[in-house]
Amino acid sequence: MSIRDVASRAGVSIATVSRAVNRIPTVDPELAARVWRAIEEVGYLPNTQARALVSGRSHMLGLIVSEITNPFFPELVQEFENLAVAQGYEVLIGSTNYSPERTASLIRRMLQRNVDGVAVMTFGIEEDLVQKLVEREFPLVFVDAGPDLPNIRVVKVNYGEGIRQGVQHLAALGHRSIAFISGPLRLRSAVARRDAFLKSMAELGLTAPAEHIVEGDHTMEGGMAAMERLIALAELPTAVLCSNDMTAIGVLHALYKTTHTVPQDISVVGFDDIHLAQFMLPPLTTVQMSCKDLAEAAVEALRAGIEREHPRAAKKEWHISTRLVVRQSTAFPRGTLPALVERAASNGPGKRSY
């Protein structure tokens, strides 16, 4: 069912059909009505490929994430997609899985499909990826950091604030011995979070010994392995702050296999606030980074780059804030008076130590 079928059925030229479809105001309302009727009758759908070919715009947005199987990303994808579709864009998703080859092929695919812009939400981009993308000078948005070029926009997450919220919560409960499990340190955002941790601790006059800063990889497996290293230490910290929620889930699991209970023996804090966090046992205290806000910023930034007279065309930076969500994986440090009082009080039915 091509534009020609509609044209002949409506008794007009294909140009008129095109104009009607694109809601060009100059078409005669009567003719337009006839066209729309014909469209209904033959069940016409404009061919996007042809449109893209002539207009030079595909109305497709690329969205590159690190790992689609990390639950944070589907949440982001969902929000991003909703927004994009609402604005008439289709989304091409790609998952790098931290592999340079995959990433390269991803870029090639996106380029070939003529996406109008791409959002790189990998939280720390491999440098060569940037290169390729930047060469063709088309709209790009990064999280955290990207090269300072005319077509590039960036969404910055306030890690300093987020991590500080976690550290201060722990410190307020009385924790002094706080460990940190970072993400893979190749990723800028992982480094940013770790540095924010160090800074937040220093602000409170606290220092973490080197063996309390351990590198994870933002997966449950990584969190588990990192926690096991912490458990092997002579002195177990009283709290662990994790670079993301998946890491925290791994930590919970590692602890489950020991005699230590959360939060009585050790407090655990995550980062991201994925939907799953509240269903963990115990429900995870975490720092929320709204992926809705993130998606909104990313889509807006992309549109600002694509559409010539977009109101925010000149804006280069967007900012995302965080907030602490206190649930049940944090408590007073073990052995302290408030913890003992708490423990004594919680021996009734309906409550149980985890």
Partner DNA sequence: ATGAAAGCGCTAACAC
Partner DNA sequence: GTGTTAGCGCTTTCAT
Minimum distance, C-beta of residue 58 to DNA, in the bound complex (Å) = 12
Minimum distance, C-beta of residue 1 to DNA, in the bound complex (Å) = 8
Residues 47-106 that bind DNA (CB under 7 A): 47, 50-51, 53-56
Query: Distance of CA 79 to CAs 51, 58, 63, 200, 318, Å?
Result: 26, 21, 12, 31, 17
DSSP letter, residue 120:
E
Q: Which CB atom, from 29 or from 56, has the smaller least distance to a second copy?
A: 56
Single residue of 22, 105, 321, 346 touching DNA by CB under 7 A: 22
4 lines the binding site for a second copy (CB under 8 A): no
Nearest to 64 by CA among 116, 136, 141, 159: 141
Cβ atoms of 47 and 58 within 8 Å: the answer is no
CA–CA distance, 249 with 140 (Å, rounded to integer): 33
Cβ atoms of 259 and 288 within 8 Å: the answer is no
Single residue of 19, 75, 285, 306 touching a second copy by CB under 8 A: 75
15 lines the binding site for DNA (CB under 7 A): yes
Single residue of 14, 31, 111, 204 touching a second copy by CB under 8 A: 111
Sort 206 into a burial class: Cβ within 10 Å, 0-12 / 13-18 / 19+.
middle
Cβ atoms of 45 and 5 within 8 Å: the answer is no
Residues 141-200 that bind a second copy (CB under 8 A): none
Sort 86 into a burial class: Cβ within 10 Å, 0-12 / 13-18 / 19+.
exposed
Span interacting with a second copy, options 30-38, 112-120, 141-149, 152-160, rule CB under 8 A = 112-120
Single residue of 124, 184, 237, 250 touching a second copy by CB under 8 A: 250
Partner touching 80 among a second copy, DNA, none, CB below 5 to 8 Å by kind: none
Minimum distance, C-beta of residue 56 to DNA, in the bound complex (Å) = 7
Tokens representing 313 are: 């065309």
CA–CA distance, 298 with 110 (Å, rounded to integer): 17
Partner touching 174 among a second copy, DNA, none, CB below 5 to 8 Å by kind: none
225 lines the binding site for a second copy (CB under 8 A): no
What residue ranges bind a second copy (CB under 8 A)? 43, 45-50, 52-53, 58, 68-69, 71, 73-75, 77-78, 81, 85, 90-93, 95, 105, 108-109, 111-114, 135, 220, 224, 249-250, 252-253, 256, 258-259, 261, 275-276, 279-283, 349-350, 352, 354
